[in-house]
Amino acid sequence: MNKELLLALEMIEKEKNISKAVLLEAIENSLLTACKNHFGKADNIKVNINPDTCDFAVYAEKEVVETVEDPLTQICVEEAKLKNPRYLPGDIVPIAIPSKEFGRIATQNAKNVILQKIREEERKVLYNDYYSKEKDITTGIVQKNLGRNISINLGKLDAILNESEQVRGEVLRQNEHVKVYILEVKDTSKGPRVSVSRTHPDLVKRLFESEVAEVKDGTVEIKAIAREAGSRTKIAVWSNDINVDPVGACVGINGARVNAVVNELRGEKIDIINWDDNAAYLIENALSPAKVICVVADEEEREALVIVPDYQLSLAIGKEGQNARLAARLTGYKIDIKSETQAKEQGLFEELGIEYQEDMVDYHYQEDEDFQEEEYDSEGEGFQEETYSQEDLNVQEEAFDYEQEIQEEEDSQEIAKEESYQEETETFQE
């Protein structure tokens, strides 16, 4: 048994994940190459290797002839009969070739063949390993900047995070651990080349799969994703189990699940909405948190008209149009948003056959500053509104009345105590 060769093959198989059969094939090819370099040709050279013991033998198959013309491929009858008296002209005799007799150059070439085969197999194993992870996420360590690109170490090789796949404004520091989405794996002469991304929408999907068990097992499906990396993402979810709330499953207890994804995305805001096969309901959900009066969707033209209350127009459109833009990407519809006043002025309610009334919406708006607070941003690019429904106002009014009753009761008790004290004082003086 060739113990040294067996241990060496087992070590390479374990460290580099290259099968022993491939390594034995490389050794066989290297011996054939050595024979060709030593003898000038190796057409009749055979190599036998025992995969269990790693014992190997190299021999040349020579034809028995009366007169030898080529000593490399032929053997005379007399010499063949010395090996076995039964050999006759035309028979094939295996002649052992001691590999120790190979010259230095032949041995070096054989060594290079083995090393080249190991490098090729190592690249192939790496390629297959990362190709199986394509379109998935993995954790990498930031290495260094390559111009405007960034090198990310994925464990066994370095991937490239191109400038176009980086989140604008995100700073990745050296030796920092980050989640990246594997875009593409190419097999090149220098080894696998892996491209990764931090902006791809599927990065969010894969992060939810890793955080939400219901998404991973298919109970909850992520039907659509619209993302503006580094700023905001909208995802539409659907449950295959009526007992499972898809939005609640993705949010988690006290927002634990969605917060884990948000933290990984460095604070990127995520809106989770319910998917609906009805395009109008889906568009209404997609424009959340804005309230909608009505939605008219044209499935053939993939266009939709949305009417919102006047005070919800800026919220529906969003800062720099982001909310409407993401809703359009999420639903696949071109969305035209009109305010309530614009719709009335253009006669859209009559045109659409909608019997519009002022109280048709389930919320009430007043311009009084006691009921509405507007926060304008410093650059004047839009505002956020905090509004109160009539139901909220009624609750507040009841709470105020209740507090007033309690206060009156406490005041009457204080007055009674004071009168009692005065009576006791007068009695004592008498």
User: Structure pTM?
Assistant: 0.67
Of 404 and 98, more confident? 98
Distances in Å between the Cα of 332 and the Cα atoms of 37, 206, 237, 296, 316 are 67, 22, 15, 14, 17
Is the pLDDT confidence value at 68 over 70? yes
User: Mean pLDDT for the chain?
Assistant: 80
pLDDT given for residue 50 in this prediction: 77
Over residues 7-64, the pLDDT tens digits come to 877 788 787 778 878 888 888 788 777 777 767 666 778 888 777 777 777 878 888 8
Residue 28, SS3 per DSSP: helix
Is the pLDDT confidence value at 275 over 70? yes
Closest to 6 (Cα-Cα) out of 29, 30, 23: 23
Phi and psi at 82, nearest 5°, equal -65, -30
Reading the block at residue 417, the tokens are: 């105590």
Over residues 220-263, the pLDDT tens digits come to 999 999 999 999 999 999 999 999 999 999 999 999 999 999 99
Over residues 91-143, the pLDDT tens digits come to 888 888 776 666 676 677 777 878 888 888 888 888 988 999 999 999 999 99
Calpha distance 293→359 (Å, rounded): 11
pLDDT given for residue 415 in this prediction: 58
DSSP 8-state assignment for residue 167: P
Tokens 């024979």 -> residue: 35
Closest to 204 (Cα-Cα) out of 286, 133, 287, 260: 260
Is the pLDDT confidence value at 144 over 70? yes
Reading the block at residue 186, the tokens are: 């190419």
DSSP 305-320: EEEE-GGGHHHHH-GG
pLDDT given for residue 76 in this prediction: 86
Tokens 């505002």 -> residue: 383
